[in-house]
Amino acid sequence: MGKYKLTWKDLTLRDFKIYLFAMFKAFIPKKKIRNLDDIEEFIQTKSAWVTQVTLYNYLKTRMGTRYVLHFENDVFMGSVNLAKWNIYSVSLQDLTFFTFSYLKVNFNFQDISMAKEIFNKILDDEISNKMPLDIIEVARKSFDERLEKINWDDYYQDLPFNPSALSLYKWAPIAEELKKLDRQIVLNSMILKWDIIKKEFVSLIKF
């Protein structure tokens, strides 16, 4: 677990910047999505937002007033960091597949090979943010396996974000007996966040 050790300072600098200001996102002007660079930025930032907001909200809800105190515990922080990167890796896959499926069907976008290129570029960039290399390797393999089976014409409207919702449920560092009680709430919390992102994408895409 030492490999994933994280400190309170580390979380404050990167993760909680997204988490604490999530409530203000509705007031931030939205940039139109006009090209593949914009697609890449959208996939990365929105995957990070959904991952962190849903994970931290769930932890805060379950732990109540003791929430902040747990950040003094290195073992717990390691578990949070491990969960964050694993959930994020699946969120990236889901949103990549969703966006390119939507583009293919609604904008007749044919260069679908760019989905893999953009996904891998995001992972390459995350190395500098200390995303564990073993999680990156698993993410690449998982993406390739899903890529072989995907139906691009249906994906964007066929429960596209179920894998990341299940990943949140799997990796959240909460006792299993408690998670079982929360299963539907946890899954729904992420699906609802993804619904926001889906609507935002549709409103911003100007390809």
Per-residue pLDDT in tens (0 to 9) along the chain, 207 residues: 333 333 444 454 455 555 555 545 544 557 899 999 999 999 999 999 999 999 988 988 887 656 555 556 667 778 889 999 999 999 999 999 999 999 999 999 999 999 999 999 999 999 999 999 999 999 999 999 999 999 999 999 999 999 999 999 999 988 888 889 999 999 999 999 999 999 999 999 998
- The pLDDT value recorded for residue 7 is 41
Domain boundaries, the chain: 33-204
pLDDT given for residue 183 in this prediction: 94
Q: So what's the pLDDT on residue 32?
A: 92
d(CA 171, CA 154): 28
Written as six digits, the tokens of 114 are 């760019």
Q: Helices H, strands E: what count in the chain? A: 8, 0
CA pair distance 104, 113, nearest whole angstrom:
11
- What's the pTM? 0.85
Q: d(Cα 99, Cα 106) in Å, to the nearest integer?
A: 10
- Give the pLDDT confidence score for residue 10 in this predicted structure: 47
- What is the sign of the dihedral through the CA atoms of 142, 148, 149 and 153? positive
Give dist(CA 164, CA 86) in Å, integer: 9
Look at residue 31 in the predicted model and tell me its pLDDT. Answer: 83
DSSP state letter for 153:
T
